[in-house]
Amino acid sequence: MRDLIFKRLLSVCCILILLISAGMIYSLVSGSVPTLSHYGFFQFIGSTEWDPHPDRETYGALSFIVGTLLTSFLALIFCIPFSLPVALFTGEFFRGKKVAVFISSIIDLLAGIPSIVYGLWGFYTFRPIIIELGINSQGFGILTSSIILAIMIIPYASSLSGEFISMVPNELKEAAYSLGATRFEVIKTVTFPSAGSGVFASYILALGRALGETMAVTMLIGNTNNLPGSLADTGNTMASIIANQFGEADGLKLSSLIAIGLLLFLITALINLVAKLVIKKLN
């Protein structure tokens, strides 16, 4: 009897998750219909115009799509050289030792810091460095927000990657050592091939975290509706434009912001789908 109740409870929870997901999709699609029917899907995502003036009201999402992808993938590129060594340190070289436990605790602490704190640190500490280097006169821009985003996702990527690396069976590594392999060769030929799909998945999750980040990016990207032409330029992401203008929006502008939210949902889902296909192929 208890097994039956437990099984039905699990089924209800699964159905509830599906209903919530369906409700979110329905809300986004229904809210986006006025904009998509007015401009058309491809015209909306291909236009860089964003003018809320009543006499010449025009909306396009290309600038924000480019800003989102640019900051997120740059953050991922900046993240890899720092997070992967940390993952190897905690999951391979010092696995199970006190120093690895201590580093892992610090990483978990960094992962739990609210994004607004990272944004404040970037605004008051890192932005003046950008100004001093002469990259940008005000310190805002794609590069500034990308670096702060990279710092934010390093704990996620390194923590998950370290867990997957530590799960590689010792028997496989001992077999390689018995054949005369060095530590570097074991990592290259045994650890990475065995944990590769998990490490890849951890970076996709970190990328998803970067795609949806709002507050830190809003504080540092400059919040201009222009298509960024370089890393020093200011811009907007899909999340930041929604955060900045959703509260005062109505009519076609509100529908356009909801459509941007739908696009962000689709981009994230597409990246996760591609990642799953790659992981399946790696396995």
**pLDDT value of position 61:** 87
How high is the mean pLDDT of the chain?
86
Q: Are 163 and 209 in contact (CB under 8 A)?
A: no
Sorting pLDDT into bands at 50, 70 and 90, what band is 270?
Answer: confident
Q: How many CB atoms lie within 10 A of CB 61?
A: 25
What pLDDT digit, counting tens, does each position of 227-245 carry? Answer: 888 888 888 899 889 988 8
Residue 210: alpha-carbon gap to chain centroid: 2
The b-or-e profile of 45-56 (16+ CB within 10 A means b, else e) is bebeebebeeee
Using the predicted structure, report yes or no on whether residue 283 has a pLDDT greater than 80: no
Category of 21 on φ-ψ map: left (φ > 0), alpha (ψ -120 to 50) or beta: alpha
**Which of 270, 280, 261, 272 is closest to 65 using CA atoms?**
261
Q: Which domains does the chain have, with CATH numbers?
A: 2-56 (no CATH), 63-282 (1.10.3720.10)
* Cα Rg, the chain, nearest whole Å: 22
> How far apart, in Å, are the Cα atoms of 75 and each of 6, 208, 255?
43, 11, 29
Give percent above pLDDT 90 in the chain.
Answer: 17
pTM score: 0.86
